[in-house]
Structure formats: C-alpha cells, structure tokens
Amino acid sequence: MENRILGLHHITAIARKAKKNVDFYTKVLGLRLLKKTVNFDDPGTYHLYYGDERGSAGTILTFFPYEDARRGSAGTGMATNIGYSVPEGSFDFWIDRFEKHNVIYNKPSEKFGEQYLTFLDPDGLKLELVIPKNPDNRLAWETDEIKANVATKGFHSVTLTLRDIKGTAAVLTDVFGYTLQEKSGNRYRYITDAVEHAAIIDLVELPNEARGIGGAGTNHHIAFRVKDEETLMAFRQKVAKAGLNITEKIDRNYFYSLYFREPGGVLFEIATDNPGFGIDESWDQLGSSLLLPPQYESHRAEIEAVLPSLD
C-alpha cells in the first residue's frame, strides 16, 4: 500500500500581485499561509504555500507570483480546475462570501452526483468547491470568519484538459495505479484507492481546443504524493520505463521531487511526504517569516529588497 502513489501532493499555479494572492487565499478562502519562501530557480520571486494546519499532502496549493506577469490562458495540456472539498450545506456561506468580496462565481451545479460551485481567484484561476459523496473527515484549518462547518478540507480533485486523453490516462492507470471510475460525455473520472481524499483526477477531452498558454491565472504543474524517497526513486524507474523523460531527484527543502511531462502536455511532479513543512519553522509559526534555502541565505538582504511587501 505504502509504495503507491498516494493521490495529490500539491498543485502549483502562477499569479500576479503577491499581496493580492495572500489576501485572497488566506482571508477570502481561509487557507493557512504555510510557507513564505522564494522560487528556488528564481529567488527574486516568492514561492507561497497554502494549506491546512501542517501542510498535509493533498491540501497544498502553491503560487509563483510575478508582479507584472502577463495573463495566461487555460487550454489543453494543462490543469484547468482545482477542486476543494467542503462540508455539506456550506454553499450558502460561500456564495455570501463571494458576493461580499466580489469574487466571480457560477451558480452551483452537479457532476458525477456531486454538487460543485465554481469560482475564480483574482488572476482568473479557476477553482471549485465540491460537496463530496462520501463526507470528508479531514480536519479543516479555521479562521475567525471561516469555521470548520464551512471551511475547505483540502483537495477533492483536479481537472486536466487534453486534446486526447489516451496517453495521460495510460500514465494514470499503468504507472500511477488509478482506475477509471466514471465517464460522462467527454469527462473521464480517474481515482486511486490508495487514499481516501485528494484521490480524483478528471480528464476532459477537447480535441479542437487551443493549447493552454502559461501565465498569471493558470496552473504550472500538479504533484502526486509518495511516502518517501525510496518510493520516489521506484517511480522514477517506472516512468522512465514507460518511455518518458524524467528529471533526477531534486531537493525542494520541504520535499524531494521528480518532474516529467506526461504525453498530454501537463507537467507532472512526484513529491515525498518527507521532510515536511516543520523542517525550518515551528508548527505555530508556519508562514510567519521569509525562509530561504541555505544557498540563498547569504543574499538575504538583496532578496528581501526586491520582494514586494505582503502587508
């Protein structure tokens, strides 16, 4: 069981103004700011992490906010919708909240027998709240305004839009151990039984849709979860054996990662549970100060000087 892909680990997207991003995800949506660090490949840009109390895998949403980024456009070869699980009966609360904060949203609808409420973040990134068929028992992060009876509980699913689902579906089933659960029109729901939550990937096939263009308001990659580095490296072999190019193991400070582009064009990552977000901050202080990986610590003053204020 433990040497399997354990659903989603994190999802990473691109934003513009960092402060706007923090305000939206912590105040309007009520996620915890888990970590304030920099893009390890571009330390003049923040890397912001949001999630539950301890940054459990399957709750982590991260952003690279480029202050003046051009807006991207969602399309094929991209993750195009992020689903959060919420408690039954919470939609009235969320609709009121979206009205109050001028969030763009759609009226609730249903797919695969589950109610969902679509909304956009300030950069146009598409998300949805979903009331899952099976109640979600994960512990929610609460804020003064958003209590556990309405708060998000982490990921329900992610949707990938593809010109042709075949290659992507093969990676999910043959390499990652997912199975096709249901199909409705051009939407195919894949699920893993390795975990209870954050276990769903929807593939939507749109053969004539334009390719997605990366930029603010679009997804950058999705990461799947494994327990440890040994499992990570076992998956490295499996992905390579499937004929796909995959990176070496990369140390992301809070997890170890591998990246590969799946045949449908979406950037996939595989990331470990270890060492986790407690490695450089105490649990009650998560997200409270700017944390830099060791290689940038000697440049802290210059880095702080170029990063925009979040207050």
Q: Which stretch binds Zn ion (CB under 5 A): 82-90, 170-178, 205-213, 223-231?
A: 223-231
Q: Which stretch binds Zn ion (CB under 5 A): 10-18, 101-109, 192-200, 286-294?
A: 10-18
Find the binder of Zn ion among 125, 223, 258, 307 (CB under 5 A): 223
Contact between 269 and Zn ion by CB under 5 A: the answer reads yes
Q: Who's near 134: CB < 8 A, 6+ residues apart?
A: 196
Residue 297's φ and ψ, nearest 5 degrees, are -60, -40
DSSP state of 157: E
| 3-class DSSP state of 66 | coil
Contact between 222 and Zn ion by CB under 5 A: the answer reads no
Of 93 and 259, CB closest to Zn ion: 259
Find the binder of Zn ion among 6, 7, 12, 268 (CB under 5 A): 12
- Count other Cβ atoms within 10 Å, centred on residue 289: 11
Helix spans in the chain (H): 18-22, 91-100, 166-170, 229-241, 294-297, 300-306
Provide, rounded to whole angstroms, the least separation between the CB of residue 23 and Zn ion. Answer: 23
Contact between 128 and Zn ion by CB under 5 A: the answer reads no
- Residues 280-309 as x/- pattern, contact with Zn ion by CB under 5 A: ------------------------------
Provide, rounded to whole angstroms, the least separation between the CB of residue 310 and Zn ion. Answer: 21
Label residues 106-120 b or e (16+ Cβ within 10 Å = b).
eebeebbebbbbbbe
| 3-class DSSP state of 147 | coil
Provide, rounded to whole angstroms, the least separation between the CB of residue 221 and Zn ion. Answer: 6
Residues in the site for Zn ion, rule: CB under 5 A? Answer: 12, 223, 269
